[in-house]
Amino acid sequence: MNFNGIDFDTYFKHYPDEKGYFGKYGGSFISPELQKAMDEITEAYFTICKSRKFIAELRRIRKEFQGRPTPISHLERLSNKLGNVQLYVKREDLNHSGAHKLNHCMGEALLAKYMGKKKVIAETGAGQLGVALATAAAYFGLECDIYMGSVDIKKQAPNVARMKILGANVVEVTHGLQTLKEAVDAAFDAYSKEYKDAIYCIGSVLGPHPFPLMVRDFQSVVGIEAREQFLEMTGELPDAIVACVGGGSNAAGFFSGFLNDPVDIYGIEPLGRGPKMGDHAASLKYGTEGIMHGFNSIMLKDENGEPAPVYSVASGLDYPSSGPEHAFLQDIGRVKYDVIDDEETIDAFFTLSKLEGIIPAIESSHAVAYGMKLAKEMGKGSVLINLSGRGDKDMDYIIEKYGIR
């Protein structure tokens, strides 16, 4: 399929290019010393991603340890309530450890093992990446340091406990807003000191090349499975697909299965309390081009051109930028990026729980809310939503802040 001059039949061969660019976005903006470490990761990744042994091992792990493939569920009661459009969810909440994050953590930890590294390092916001990486580290017998802001540590207490039980070292980040961006800064700092023995497992399709490519590749299992399963279930492709976008990993993997199809694709960012700077984290909607954490993308900046303070009810979405591939897909118009605010999110959280018996993560509830909106607007057809994770981690926070509705 050709879309605005881009040939999607060969898209994955050309995007990103060999320097990690999706059009003008991506690349690698780091110190020469760290660049050497990145080059080592790139070389190792390009070697093992072609190795039959590595692919077979990852397939086995996905089936026997992660419980893949995750199913698609038809949301019959919610669809009937909203009208004629049929809503479906891809159940990444049923992936082991409760979210899509394990898909790339198992791949990255396997790569770390192959490279002879002893430790994995990462940041976490919602704690979901931290739990996934701690799980992968335990599985492969690696040490694991997880950097997390104090605000998120309080908000996501169950996940902090899980990381510790899994044997990870949770390092509290106490500066700035004490949320995801500061945690990424701290993890980057630690990696630049420890790169000889450790590998940085960034939490999303972010950071310098090869991470946006590598994380998308590991997450593409979601899109490949979803396309096959939906065709088998309904005999056709969905009319529209929806995923939430923080850094953009669940969306990148899910979308990759449908980019070359006549399917409308929606990426949903958090509008938080509203469009005023500081009240949201909708970087693709309100941001401008800039460099942060080693890559060029669209980002929210303050008056000094520095990453702006951001907010979302979902700890996993409050990051002032998104992956370079999303900036590119937005520019060429292949994916439409839109926003959902906190209230609509919480409403979707309770609606899906009550009507379907599925408690979604607050992050994923953004996609559910948008799917519900689309269903009302479209009038007929089908919408497939990526349910990126489950809401167990959010229980305490929701009950304290919103009560039970």
Ligand X SMILES: Cc1ncc(COP(=O)(O)O)c(C=O)c1O
Active site residues: 101, 123, 388
Alpha helical stretches, state H, 195-246:
211-234
Residues with Cβ within 8 Å of residue 96, at least 6 apart in sequence = 65, 66, 67, 102, 135
Report how far residue 38's alpha carbon sits from residue 35's, in angstroms, rounded to the nearest whole number.
5
**Listed residue (15, 8, 29, 19) closest to 299, CA to CA:** 29
Binding site for ligand X (CB under 6 A): 99, 125-126, 128-129, 204, 244-251, 316-317, 361, 363-364, 388-389
Report how far residue 367's alpha carbon sits from residue 344's, in angstroms, rounded to the nearest whole number.
10
Look up residue 197 and give its two tokens. Answer: 């023995």
Maximal C-alpha separation, the chain: 57
Label the pairing between strands 119-124 and 143-149.
Answer: parallel
Classify residue 4 as exposed, middle or buried by CB count within 10 Å of its CB (0-12, 13-18, 19+): exposed
For 362-382, give the DSSP string. HHHHHHHHHHHHHHHHH-SSE
Cα Rg for the chain, rounded, in angstroms? 19
Length of the chain: 405
For 95-156, give the DSSP string. STTSBTTHHHHHHHHHHHHHTT--EEEEEESSSHHHHHHHHHHHHHT-EEEEEEEHHHHHHT
Report how far residue 186's alpha carbon sits from residue 175's, in angstroms, rounded to the nearest whole number.
10
Look up residue 371 and give its two tokens. Answer: 């799917």
